[in-house]
Structure 1
Amino acid sequence: MGLRKKKRQQRHESAPVHPADADPTTSPWAVELRAVRRQYGRGSGAVHALRGIDLALPRGSFTAVMGPSGSGKSTFLQCAAGLDRPTDGSVRLGGTEITGMSENKLTALRRTRLGFVFQAFNLLPSLTVEQNVLLPMRLAGHRPDRRRAAEMLTRVGLGDKGGRRPGQLSGGQQQRVAIARALVTSPDVIFADEPTGALDTTTAGEILHLLRSAVDGMNATVVMVTHDPAAAAHADRTLFLADGAIVDHVEGASAARIADRMTALTRAAAPAYAGVAA
């Protein structure tokens, strides 16, 4: 395990936080943000949620995003995933510029090339587990691939639960279904928003191991917002946001080191967050 973690560090340590000027059609980056700003409101009441984010995340990587309350984590995730439009700057996903896309094209892209895992699971209670996993394919207008769904459910340890309803599963099992659903279309990026926030410590560790395995075994790209240093320690890199800007990042750090950095950041930046969006 130590050797594998060392290899992961070597693989991603050289990846710059700021993107190089490369041809987007051959870009090695899964996610690129260039000079991204997001402002809500105008004048003296304006809230600057993001202040010029420059970032490139390589394909097949696991990135955690942390920061004090009000630092811009949620806005970062929404802009990076095309759920919100930046005020200025550009966003590319898998080499595709999405900033000026129409809402219809953005919706189609999210359904086919992005996966999402949320704290609240967001499963449809009236559908079976298998039907929930197949939902992204149906929404994209593709023929549901039951073999692919079975493969993903087996990968997350629920190969025998396809016929059950979400309400018949534990919270941890429901989050496993959400991960299978996120993986079923082989997306360019999986965005995870506090995926372990509603789970106990043991179950959270199992979910994080699944996300880590998706990166190592399937070359998935995961971008995870979390408040938990133990969760962030599963990532290749942890980015720290403060007042809408990336102020630091660490590679392959332990939970203790990440916690220390967060504590220092929170103490130093606490007075700055009045009125800033989370």
Structure 2
Amino acid sequence: MKVRGNRGRKNAEEQPQGTGPGTPDAGHGPAVELRGVRRQYGRGNAVVHALAGVDLALPRGTFTAVMGPSGSGKSTFLQCAAGLDRPTSGSVRLGGTEITGLSENRLTELRRSRLGFVFQAFNLLPSLTVEQNVLLPLRLAGKRQDRRRAATVLAQVGLADKARRRPGELSGGQQQRVAVARALVTNPDVIFADEPTGALDTGTAAEVLGLLRHAVDGLGATVVMVTHDPAAAAWADRVLFLADGTFADGLERGTPEQIAARMTALTARTGAMAGAAA
């Protein structure tokens, strides 16, 4: 996969902000902010500190990749940042909204209207058409089914002619493109992507990553992606590395080789620390 040196970024003030309905301070402050976030599972001697005091602020209109060894807390970070799981302590803000204390109904409403999600498994409904899958977030939020909006985002992902197809009639790469279109349809504050290329071949993965990159550069979206793949992470503006529930390091616009080397060093370091503590 070739990583572009000049990705055509606009200045933050030139980009349209991906602000959903009800954003209190649209265009101001970080898109994602975690302060003192801890998440633990179990009790007593069996307690696991999945997140051990995370402090992080991600600017709007940026693409951030999160990497780390197995068990480092990547999935827990994504779930807490996206309001899919509640931290044991600390606070999470999305687009200026403090979400930690929101009710489940309010959290569900926020996720549907202001966040987009792309998962490794696509999560498309096989009985619905491509267009219906893309419009599902609007339907679940009780909003008007805007077919013109669906046509727009499908055109952006190169599937303008597939609206009437079912997911089973598409390739894996095309299904993931539908998932990206679904994530874009509400013009979300943040798109959270969890291993979005894990089930794709290298060429198709590059196409999907290019769409996420365009969502940032061309649409002003904010993308937060968890990945194990250094080549995927190289598409991001910044790569953050998690180890033992905390962010250990970061790398600005690294090449796949630089990112892989940093991951190897981090894994070796955390493995040595675990061995010393055993």
With normalisation by structure 1, the TM-score equals 0.90
SS in structure 2 at match of 1:186: coil
RMSD over aligned CA atoms reads 1.6
Following the alignment from structure 1 to structure 2, what is the Cα–Cα distance between the partners of residues 38 and 4?
Answer: 35
Residues 104-155 of structure 1, C-alpha deviations (whole Å, 9 max, x = no match):
0000000000000000000000000000000000000000100000000000
1:176-255 matches, within 5 Å, as 176-255=177-256
Following the alignment from structure 1 to structure 2, what is the Cα–Cα distance between the partners of residues 239 and 144?
Answer: 37
Q: Residues 200 and 3 of structure 1: is their aligned pair in 2 closer, same or farther, counting only changes over 3 Å?
A: closer
Residues 187-215 of structure 1, C-alpha deviations (whole Å, 9 max, x = no match):
00000000000000000011001100110
Following the alignment from structure 1 to structure 2, what is the Cα–Cα distance between the partners of residues 28 and 210?
Answer: 25
Aligned residue for 1:41? 42
Distance apart, 1:272 and its partner CA:
5.4
Following the alignment from structure 1 to structure 2, what is the Cα–Cα distance between the partners of residues 263 and 69?
Answer: 12
Following the alignment from structure 2 to structure 1, what is the Cα–Cα distance between the partners of residues 226 and 137?
Answer: 22
Following the alignment from structure 2 to structure 1, what is the Cα–Cα distance between the partners of residues 25 and 34?
Answer: 16
Q: Is structure 2 residue 71 aligned with structure 1 residue 70?
A: yes
Q: Which amino acid aligns with 2:239?
A: T
Aligned residue for 1:2? 5
Q: Which amino acid aligns with 1:238?
A: V
Following the alignment from structure 1 to structure 2, what is the Cα–Cα distance between the partners of residues 148 and 28?
Answer: 28
Q: Tell me which moved more, 116-125 or 26-35.
A: 26-35
SS in structure 1 at match of 2:66: strand
Q: Tell me which moved more, 36-45 or 94-103.
A: 36-45
Distance apart, 1:271 and its partner CA:
5.1
SS in structure 1 at match of 2:224: strand
Aligned residue for 2:21? none
Aligned residue for 1:19? none
Distance apart, 1:2 and its partner CA:
3.3
Aligned residue for 1:17? none
Residues 13-66 of structure 1, C-alpha deviations (whole Å, 9 max, x = no match):
xxxxxxxxxxx8464210000000001111111000001000000111000000
Following the alignment from structure 1 to structure 2, what is the Cα–Cα distance between the partners of residues 273 and 92?
Answer: 32
Tell me, yes or no, if the aligned pair for 1:172 and 1:204 is still in contact at 8 Å: yes
Following the alignment from structure 1 to structure 2, what is the Cα–Cα distance between the partners of residues 261 and 91?
Answer: 28
Q: Which amino acid aligns with 1:2?
A: G
Following the alignment from structure 2 to structure 1, what is the Cα–Cα distance between the partners of residues 171 and 274?
Answer: 37
Residues 51-102 of structure 1, C-alpha deviations (whole Å, 9 max, x = no match):
1000000111000000000000000000000000000100000000000000
Residues 169-188 of structure 1, C-alpha deviations (whole Å, 9 max, x = no match):
00000000000000000000
Tell me, yes or no, if the aligned pair for 1:32 and 1:93 is still in contact at 8 Å: yes
Aligned residue for 1:138? 139
Q: Is structure 2 residue 156 aligned with structure 1 residue 155?
A: yes
Following the alignment from structure 1 to structure 2, what is the Cα–Cα distance between the partners of residues 271 and 248?
Answer: 17
Tell me, yes or no, if the aligned pair for 1:38 and 1:87 is still in contact at 8 Å: yes
Aligned residue for 2:265? 264
Tell me, yes or no, if the aligned pair for 1:62 and 1:222 is still in contact at 8 Å: yes
Q: Is structure 2 residue 110 aligned with structure 1 residue 118?
A: no
Aligned residue for 1:59? 60
Following the alignment from structure 1 to structure 2, what is the Cα–Cα distance between the partners of residues 270 and 93?
Answer: 33
Following the alignment from structure 2 to structure 1, what is the Cα–Cα distance between the partners of residues 185 and 274?
Answer: 38
Following the alignment from structure 1 to structure 2, what is the Cα–Cα distance between the partners of residues 3 and 205?
Answer: 16
SS in structure 2 at match of 1:82: coil
Percent identical pairs in the alignment equals: 75
Following the alignment from structure 2 to structure 1, what is the Cα–Cα distance between the partners of residues 248 and 190?
Answer: 23
Aligned residue for 2:15? none
1:19-34 matches, within 5 Å, as 25=25, 27-34=28-35
Residues 220-251 of structure 1, C-alpha deviations (whole Å, 9 max, x = no match):
10000000000000000000000000000011
Count of aligned pairs between the two proteins: 260
Tell me, yes or no, if the aligned pair for 1:243 and 1:272 is still in contact at 8 Å: no
SS in structure 2 at match of 1:177: helix
Q: Is structure 2 residue 93 aligned with structure 1 residue 92?
A: yes
Following the alignment from structure 1 to structure 2, what is the Cα–Cα distance between the partners of residues 225 and 209?
Answer: 16
Tell me, yes or no, if the aligned pair for 1:71 and 1:273 is still in contact at 8 Å: no
Aligned residue for 1:15? none
Aligned residue for 2:19? none
